[in-house]
């Protein structure tokens, strides 16, 4: 049985076909991807059968019945309401909830707890774009559709690593790249997205508003109408100095933009995660309004969403400063309309606390009950250590999650097992306003239940049962859809009331549907909303580097990881691309050799990462991926070092810009252990990596005595009947051991005084061998084969092709991505690695430095 459903990762919202026991396939009938998938989507099947699911409710660390857990929830909320009133209870939810779950959570908080303290991880993600849309269009609207990205003659990718974060959009763009189409990337670092771009503007971080003000002034001088108020902040602005871009590069970009009616600016976290995020959105919109490209096919501003249902959360209004269905407190009659529709006399009368303020309130003891759903704030919030402290201050911290061991769950008093992808049922909305069904195709594991059900049961125990008496997600969807058609004093574009009378069967069969759908049968398309110019003045990021914190820390994503790695971290082939947490730094800045460990220290905390020299970084700036958690790498959570500065309009944290210091991490030894199971080891620094074939890689470093540590690590492998071959050079600080039994390798332990250890890939491969002879035993401790190519990281995860193999093919004369594919099969699977193959070709073509 094949089920048509939707990928649970990014906001592209690809349709997938799921058949239990077979690999997941792209749905050729889905408008977002037409059959394509990226590396994460392709590996979805491998994330099922998660080894570490939360299967039963738990209260105070003990298994509890649902009845007991739900009673404890209700009691926790009652106590907090009595002690603090509605301002002292809160929910923190997520764009990974389905629309129906999201709607239920928002109705519970705002309608019945009477608090608008319900915020979402969308605050860290989309809040600035939402604020920009509301200021310009009076409503949170994304005008464009994906076809516009294909039809644009000039595509500007601003603060977006599209190749890695919206890979199927990137594939669509590349496939539709007709002669003459230009791509400009605006990003301080050189990313995979820059491959094949016509222009890369490596601007100073945070200077996008200045760049777009310069564009507005240029458009004005080229005859496009711009109101004086919007132009004013551009006067006298030294754009080259503020952006660090040459006058020539600026002139080229501005001239292309002015001359190309079909121009799209696609923007993402480089714009949103900024203390000027809302202004960046409006500066972009202003330029398109002046240019006349807003609403044109192939034109306009295009905010792409991150999470699978970031849009759905915005539609149901589950952010602290919004009501449901795009209704607003400050528009006459809307609050009353919602209050009457929900029959909710306690409806929250005003906006609540945004994420950063919410966790600050918790730290101050002002939050008596907090319910976290489908997000991992202990890892993903800035000033991570402070947030962990705050979570510990909440008397009733409840967490609903699918997995049993997130960093946030570890702090919870009540743990509620939620259904995950493939088990839950409902809808999601992607970046182009297309609502798609996520359908169930797996049985519920253990006692896990869908989030909306859990909400409805807590509500019932608080006496509000009849308002939450839905029998299925279809019933919630109908209530939500009808709400969007409420007679409103001001018209809203977001209207899906044409879907309010879907039967259960029609809902189950619902095809991907773009809003607005005001009447049954109608379908939404590209929007051309009336837009206001919102004057934006340039402001530098809140915290400038200097003094003790001389570097700017930028953070973001990797191709094959999803957020806090709860799913992708379980899949060896997705771990193969980048196995360890790292810090990228320009070689001229390097404070330590490539591969050494460094400490990154910010105003609120620190993290230890492996240093990577990377000429694609601007000097003075460093970059770290956001993904690693305490569970995967002790001491390597980058958000400990990220500052909690926020945008004054949107409240979105400035996750892309934190002043930090970077220095060598003092250690006496570094090492690794490969074993056939995950070991519980403790060291000053550690990263754990699952490898193919059931092998676990443990990277370790410490300041204790290496000889004792070597003995302890061998003991920790707990292999009493294995034969160990051992090499000890106590004076040099080198210790190596391999445990074998019946010709099979069971474990290796390597320790060195620094990071110069043999590559792990070859050793890991030996675990698959069944008859390791005596000659081979010696090479194990050498850490390298007697002959043959050195191992290298996997670039193509679909076909397991390493960088060395690709480089050999290029050396052998393959000079295009297609030719490399024919020779090595690299890039012929999902295609996510094609930009990296292109970059290896480009590097090989560069002349040798004299």
Ligand X SMILES: Nc1nc2c(c(=O)[nH]1)N[C@H]1C(S)=C(S)[C@@H](COP(=O)(O)OP(=O)(O)OC[C@H]3O[C@@H](n4cnc5c(=O)[nH]c(N)nc54)[C@H](O)[C@@H]3O)O[C@H]1N2
164 binds ligand X (CB under 6 A): yes
Which of these, 205, 190, 198, lies nearest to 156 by C-alpha position? 198
Please identify, using beta-carbon distances, which residue of 127 and 324 lies nearer to ligand X: 127
The only residue of 4, 40, 339, 467 in contact with ligand SF4, by rule CB under 6 A: 40
The only residue of 566, 643, 652, 828 in contact with ligand X, by rule CB under 6 A: 566
The burial class, CB within 10 Å (0-12 / 13-18 / 19+), for 331 is middle
Which listed option, Mo ion, ligand X, ligand SF4, none, makes contact with residue 142 (CB within 5 to 8 Å by class)?
A: none
Which of these, 436, 704, 165, 270, lies nearest to 712 by C-alpha position? 704
Backbone angles phi, psi at 292, to 5 degrees: 80, 15
Task: Tell me the closest approach of the beta carbon of residue 737 to ligand SF4, in angstroms.
Answer: 41
Distance CA 632, CA 394 (A): 26
Please identify, using beta-carbon distances, which residue of 152 and 624 lies nearer to ligand X: 624
The only residue of 30, 135, 189, 526 in contact with ligand X, by rule CB under 6 A: 189
Using the rule CB under 6 A, give the single segment among 10-18, 314-322, 732-740, 838-846 that binds ligand SF4: 10-18
543 binds ligand X (CB under 6 A): no
Q: How far apart are the first and last CA of the chain?
A: 62
41 binds ligand SF4 (CB under 6 A): yes
Which listed option, ligand X, ligand SF4, Mo ion, none, makes contact with residue 303 (CB within 5 to 8 Å by class)?
A: none
Residues in Cβ contact with 475 at an 8 Å cutoff, skipping those fewer than 6 apart: none
> Quick check: 794 and 577 in contact, CB under 8 A?
yes
639 binds ligand X (CB under 6 A): yes
Please identify, using beta-carbon distances, which residue of 213 and 338 lies nearer to ligand X: 213
Task: Tell me the closest approach of the beta carbon of residue 125 to Mo ion, in angstroms.
Answer: 3
Please identify, using beta-carbon distances, which residue of 338 and 626 lies nearer to ligand X: 626
Please identify, using beta-carbon distances, which residue of 304 and 798 lies nearer to Mo ion: 304
Q: Which residues pair with 269 in a beta bridge?
A: none
Q: Which two tokens stand for residue 601?
A: 């220290």
Q: What is the DSSP string of 340-409?
A: HHHT-TT---S----HHHHHHHHHTT--SEEEEES--HHHHSSSHHHHHHHHHT-SEEEEEESBS--TTG
The only residue of 110, 288, 559, 610 in contact with ligand X, by rule CB under 6 A: 559
> Quick check: 262 and 299 in contact, CB under 8 A?
yes
Please identify, using beta-carbon distances, which residue of 159 and 706 lies nearer to ligand SF4: 159
The helix-helix angle for 817-824 and 834-845 (nearest 10°) equals: 110
Residues in contact with Mo ion by CB under 5 A are 125, 306
Distance CA 815, CA 809 (A): 9
Number of residues that bind ligand SF4 (CB under 6 A): 13
Which of these, 13, 23, 19, lies nearest to 44 by C-alpha position? 23
Please identify, using beta-carbon distances, which residue of 124 and 283 lies nearer to ligand X: 124
Which of these, 71, 42, 78, lies nearest to 168 by C-alpha position? 42
Using the rule CB under 6 A, give the single segment among 107-115, 118-126, 339-347, 433-441 that binds ligand X: 118-126
Residues in Cβ contact with 481 at an 8 Å cutoff, skipping those fewer than 6 apart: 496, 497, 498, 499, 500, 502
Distance CA 431, CA 312 (A): 10
The only residue of 191, 321, 497, 513 in contact with ligand X, by rule CB under 6 A: 191
125 binds ligand X (CB under 6 A): yes
> Quick check: 209 and 283 in contact, CB under 8 A?
yes
325 binds ligand SF4 (CB under 6 A): no
562 binds ligand X (CB under 6 A): yes
Using the rule CB under 6 A, give the single segment among 5-13, 225-233, 324-332, 421-429 that binds ligand SF4: 5-13
Residues that bind ligand X (CB under 6 A): 10, 94, 96-97, 121, 124-125, 158-161, 164-165, 186-189, 191, 205-206, 208, 268-270, 273-274, 306-307, 373-377, 379-380, 400-403, 406, 418, 420, 424, 451, 554-557, 559, 561-564, 566, 626, 638-639, 642, 655-656
Residues that bind ligand SF4 (CB under 6 A): 7, 9-10, 12-14, 33, 37-38, 40-41, 167-168
């Amino acid at each position: 049985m094949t089920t048509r459903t939707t990928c649970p990762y990014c906001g592209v919202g690809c349709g997938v076909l799921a058949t239990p026991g077979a690999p997941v396939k792209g749905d050729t009938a889905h408008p977002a991807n037409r059959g394509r998938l990226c590396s994460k989507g392709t590996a979805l099947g491998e994330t099922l059968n998660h080894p570490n699911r939360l299967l039963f409710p738990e209260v105070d660390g003990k298994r509890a019945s649902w009845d007991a857990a739900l009673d404890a929830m209700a009691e926790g909320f009652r106590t907090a309401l009595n002690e603090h009133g509605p301002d002292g209870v809160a929910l923190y939810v997520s764009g990974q909830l389905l629309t129906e779950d999201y709607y239920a959570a928002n109705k519970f908080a705002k309608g019945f707890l009477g608090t608008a303290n319900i915020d979402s991880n969308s605050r860290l993600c989309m809040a600035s774009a939402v604020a920009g849309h509301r200021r310009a269009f009076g409503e949170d609207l994304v005008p464009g559709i994906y076809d516009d990205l294909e039809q644009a003659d000039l595509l500007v990718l601003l603060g977006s690593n599209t190749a890695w974060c919206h890979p199927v959009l990137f594939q669509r763009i590349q496939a539709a790249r007709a002669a003459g189409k230009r791509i400009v990337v605006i990003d301080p670092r050189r990313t995979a997205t820059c491959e094949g771009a016509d222009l890369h503007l490596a601007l100073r971080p945070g200077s996008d508003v200045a760049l777009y003000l310069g564009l507005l002034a240029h458009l004005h001088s080229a005859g496009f109408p711009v109101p004086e108020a919007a132009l004013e902040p551009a006067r006298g602005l030294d754009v080259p100095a503020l952006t660090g871009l040459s006058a020539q590069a600026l002139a080229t970009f501005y001239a292309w933009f002015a001359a190309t009616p079909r121009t799209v600016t696609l923007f993402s976290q480089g714009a949103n995660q900024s203390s000027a995020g809302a202004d960046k959105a409006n500066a972009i919109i202003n330029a398109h309004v002046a240019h006349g490209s807003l609403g044109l096919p192939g034109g306009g501003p295009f905010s792409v969403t991150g999470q699978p249902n970031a849009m759905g959360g915005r539609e149901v209004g589950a952010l602290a400063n919004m009501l449901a269905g795009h209704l607003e407190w400050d528009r006459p009659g809307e609050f009353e309309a919602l209050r009457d529709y929900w029959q909710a006399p306690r409806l929250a009368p005003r906006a609540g606390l945004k994420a950063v303020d919410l966790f600050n309130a918790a730290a101050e003891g002002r939050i008596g009950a907090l319910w976290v759903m489908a997000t991992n704030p202990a890892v993903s919030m800035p000033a991570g250590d402070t947030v962990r402290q705050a979570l510990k201050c909440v008397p009733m911290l409840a967490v609903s999650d699918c997995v049993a061991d997130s960093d946030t769950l570890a702090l919870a008093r009540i743990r509620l097992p939620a259904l995950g992808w493939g088990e839950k049922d409902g809808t999601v909305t992607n970046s182009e306003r297309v609502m798609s069904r996520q359908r169930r195709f797996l049985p519920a594991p253990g006692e896990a239940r869908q989030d909306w059900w859990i909400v409805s049961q807590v509500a019932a125990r608080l006496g509000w049962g009849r308002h939450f008496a839905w029998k299925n997600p279809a019933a919630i969807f109908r209530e939500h859809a009808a709400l969007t058609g409420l007679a409103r004093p001001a018209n809203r574009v977001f209207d899906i009331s044409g879907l309010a009378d879907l039967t259960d069967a029609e809902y189950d069969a619902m095809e991907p549907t773009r809003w607005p759908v005001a009447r049954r049968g109608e379908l939404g398309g590209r929007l051309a909303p009336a837009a206001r110019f919102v004057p934006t003045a340039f402001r530098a990021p809140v915290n400038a580097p200097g003094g003790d914190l001389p570097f700017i820390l930028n953070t973001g994503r990797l191709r094959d990881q999803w957020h806090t790695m709860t799913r992708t971290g379980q899949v060896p082939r997705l771990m193969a691309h980048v196995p360890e947490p790292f810090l990228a730094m320009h070689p001229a800045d390097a404070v330590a050799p490539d591969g050494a460990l460094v400490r990154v220290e910010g105003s609120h905390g620190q993290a230890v990462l492996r240093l990577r020299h990377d000429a694609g970084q601007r000097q003075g700036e460093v970059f770290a991926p956001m993904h690693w958690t305490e569970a995967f790498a002790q001491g390597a959570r980058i958000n400990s070092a990220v500052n909690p500065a926020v945008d004054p309009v949107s409240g979105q944290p400035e996750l892309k810009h934190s002043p930090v210091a970077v220095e060598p991490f003092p250690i006496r030894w570094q090492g690794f252990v490969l074993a056939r199971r995950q070991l519980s080891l403790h060291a000053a620094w550690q990263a754990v990596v699952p490898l193919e074939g059931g092998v676990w890689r443990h990277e370790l470093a410490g300041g204790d005595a290496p000889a004792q540590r070597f003995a302890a690590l061998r003991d920790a492998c707990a292999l009493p009947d294995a034969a160990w071959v051992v090499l000890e050079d106590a004076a040099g600080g080198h210790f190596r051991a391999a445990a074998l039994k019946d010709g099979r390798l069971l474990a290796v332990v390597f320790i060195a005084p620094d990071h110069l250890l043999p590559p792990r890939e070859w050793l890991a491969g030996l675990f698959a061998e069944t008859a390791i002879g005596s000659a081979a035993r010696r090479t194990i401790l050498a850490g390298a084969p007697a002959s043959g190519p050195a191992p290298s990281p996997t670039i193509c995860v679909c076909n397991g092709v390493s960088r060395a193999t690709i480089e050999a093919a290029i050396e052998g004369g393959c000079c295009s991505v297609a030719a490399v594919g024919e020779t090595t099969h690299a890039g012929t699977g999902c295609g996510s690695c094609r930009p990296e193959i292109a970059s290896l070709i480009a590097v090989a073509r560069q002349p040798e430095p004299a």
